[in-house]
Amino acid sequence: MDVQIRHHPSFAVARANLAAGESIRAESGAMMATSSGVEVEAKMEGGLMKGLKRSVLGGESLFVTRYTAPPQGGWIDMAARLPGDLVEVPVNGAVNLSRGSWMCSSDGVEIDTKWGGVKNLVGGEGGFVVRAEGQGSVVLACYGALDLVELAAGESFVLDSGHMVAFGDGVDFRTRKVTKGIMQTIKSGEGFVFEFTGPGQVWVQSRNPDEFIGWLTATLPFSRG
């Protein structure tokens, strides 16, 4: 899979160029266009239980779409639901993803949902983490612009939970409240944060989807009855 990203950072589109017979898997609804002859098949990969786990616990779609190139090769253009950037991340073992950030991956990468521990539950990711495992690459979508934080061994930084996109498997993390006491939390409007410690990489989005949804809910007429 050769990926070319255009129109970034605000309205990025990823084009996956495939050799003859090569295939990729993508989030349901991500396709914008394909070249002629590309075969499209949607199914619950791994069976019903794995599909439900990926959907209900991991925040991804129940169905996964597979695109396979014809003998002459082909391409697929994909775009995310929210405006923002895309990034291709190499997978050599595992990468941990936030809910909803996975858009597509090469055929050698498996997307699974695993228990991330109580610290992940407290951090707002629902207790479960989406993991890209294997050999290949994965294309991630973010809301807004994307930053890559490179952490040296023992180096730490604090990130609001809603701005996390992904982090390398060697990065350690814990969760905590950003302020002391309930009143400080209410006054500041800040909740839980991740504290990441290197070595490794952390991908960060400049906008918080949950904050956007909260603003829409409070602003749209139907939300006020």
* 225, part of any domain: no
- Write the CATH number for 118: 3.60.160.10
What's the domain range around 98?
2-219
Here the tokens at position 154 are 């023992």
pLDDT digits 0-9 by tens, 34-70: 999 999 998 766 544 454 444 444 445 657 899 999 9
Contacts of residue 181, defined as CB under 8 A and 6 or more positions apart, other chains included, come to: none
* SS3 track for 153-221: CCCEEEEEHHHEEEEECCCEEEEEECCCCHHHHHHHCCCEEEEEECCEEEEEECCCHHHHHHHHHHHCH
The domain tally of the chain equals 1
Q: Please tell me the pTM assigned to this model.
A: 0.81
pLDDT digits 0-9 by tens, 63-83: 789 999 999 999 999 999 999
Rounded distance between C-alpha atoms, residue 70 and residue 66, angstroms: 13
* 183, part of any domain: yes
211 has which bridge partners?
Answer: none
Residue with the larger pLDDT of the pair 225 and 201: 201
Please say if the pLDDT value at position 116 is more than 80. Answer: no
* 157, part of any domain: yes
Residue with the larger pLDDT of the pair 126 and 218: 218
* 154, part of any domain: yes
* 79, part of any domain: yes
